[in-house]
Amino acid sequence: MRGFHLVPDNINLSFISRRMTFFIFSALLVVFSIGIFSSKGLNYGIDFKGGILIEVKTTNGPADIGAMRSNLSELGLGDIGLQEFGAPDEVMIRIQFQEGDESAQAEAVERVKAALGDNIEYRRTEFVGPKISDELFLDGVYAVAMAIFAILVYVWFRFEWQFGLGAVIALLHDVISTIGIFALLGLEFNLSTVAAILTIAGYSINDTVVVYDRVRENLRRYKSKSLGELLNDSINETLSRTVMTSVTTLLALGALYLLGGEVISGFSFAMIWGVIIGTYSSICLAVPLLLYLNVARRGGIAGGDDNKEAAADKAP
């Protein structure tokens, strides 16, 4: 009895011959992401801009967020954000950092408690100062940069430098586009989003390494096959595994996004986008880029034809 296959075993789609379409789309996506980030910026959470976070639960039924917002807006504490947090009776309150030391933050919390009145259970109160938020932001940037560098070194030593360069270009594409989608939609960018970006990098490189393994095997096996045809065959041979892994991961992430509540919605959304864009970049960027990086076979240069570009264009 045959198992279920989302992609037929004998599929033969034309990826390499359409590489310029993929390259143009990805270049436009990266340029748009950088542009929207530069013009609009990110909606940084309290982790990165400092402030007060209070998690409350109403004890007399669902919270009246409108009335709560009206009461708190009269306190003169600056920007205040309220949102339902998982359940109708749970609310997350975010207040901008107050001028002064810790006593000024504590005073602001007491004023909030007085304005909200009774029938409120306070579950969590956190303070993040500007200095700490700057350190957290820099730590997040360093974490992403070091992860990408470590991946470059790993792929370089496992394969060749050409594979490492192709993988890192695809990873940068994924990271930049993820930042761009957060800037476009105005979603909160916090430490959990940084964790999602690091997870996306790991997921994307896993997909890429699977295809690269098949490329390396085929480079050793077929000495006369053109590089374009060889790369296209390698993608198709691993396509079923790649799609099945992505679909099953998306099913789990979809459940987290719909049912996991506000606390992990940003992380779940980033992961959903990352899985989609990471799968795309592994197939449509990382592998076609090898056509231009002079990948070596054992005993010679891959794609020994006089015109590798023409041979690639003839690939199915």
Same domain flag for 40 and 165: yes
8 lies in a domain?
no
Same domain flag for 271 and 196: yes
Determine how β-strand 43-44 pairs with β-strand 188-189.
Answer: parallel
Determine how β-strand 120-128 pairs with β-strand 300-301.
Answer: unpaired
172 lies in a domain?
yes
CATH of the domain at 224: 1.20.1640.10
Tokens representing residue 109 in the block:
């919390």
Same domain flag for 114 and 248: no
H/E run at residue 90: strand 87-96
Residue 269 near residue 257 (C-beta atoms within 8 A)? yes
Burial class (CB in 10 A: 0-12, 13-18, 19+), 285: buried
Same domain flag for 234 and 97: no
**Strand-pair partners of 130:** none
Which of 106, 128, 150 corresponds to the end of one domain? 128
- Helix locations, 88-160, DSSP H: 102-116, 130-158
How far is residue 56's CA from residue 118's CA, in Å, rounded to a whole number?
12
How far is residue 114's CA from residue 33's CA, in Å, rounded to a whole number?
43
Same domain flag for 138 and 111: no
Which of 95, 128, 161 corresponds to the end of one domain? 128
Same domain flag for 100 and 219: no
5 lies in a domain?
no
Residue 167 near residue 205 (C-beta atoms within 8 A)? yes
pLDDT for the residue numbered 277: 92
pLDDT for the residue numbered 303: 43
Which of 69, 96, 128 corresponds to the end of one domain? 128
Same domain flag for 181 and 90: no
Q: What is the pTM of this model?
A: 0.74
Question: Which residues span the domain enclosing 264?
Answer: 16-44+133-313
For Cα atoms 96, 98, 99, give the angle at the middle one, nearest 5 degrees.
140
How far is residue 160's CA from residue 88's CA, in Å, rounded to a whole number?
54
212 lies in a domain?
yes
- Helix locations, 260-288, DSSP H: 265-281
Q: Residue-wise pLDDT tens for the chain (316 aa)?
A: 455 566 666 777 788 888 999 999 999 999 999 999 999 888 887 777 777 888 888 887 787 788 888 888 877 777 777 777 777 778 888 887 777 677 787 888 888 888 887 778 888 887 776 666 677 778 888 888 888 888 888 888 877 888 888 888 998 999 999 999 999 988 888 888 888 888 888 888 888 888 888 888 888 888 778 888 888 888 888 888 888 888 888 999 999 888 876 667 888 899 999 999 999 998 999 899 988 887 766 533 444 443 444 445 545 5
pLDDT for the residue numbered 2: 54
How far is residue 254's CA from residue 78's CA, in Å, rounded to a whole number?
35
Same domain flag for 208 and 117: no
CATH of the domain at 105: 3.30.70.3400
Domain count, the chain: 2
Burial class (CB in 10 A: 0-12, 13-18, 19+), 256: middle
7 lies in a domain?
no
239 Cα distance to chain centroid:
21
Residue 108 near residue 52 (C-beta atoms within 8 A)? yes
H/E run at residue 313: helix 308-313
Exposure string for 113-136, b = 16+ CB within 10 A, e = fewer? eeebeeebeeeebebbeeeebeeb
H/E run at residue 257: helix 227-259
Same domain flag for 155 and 175: yes
Same domain flag for 194 and 85: no
Number of residues that make up the chain: 316
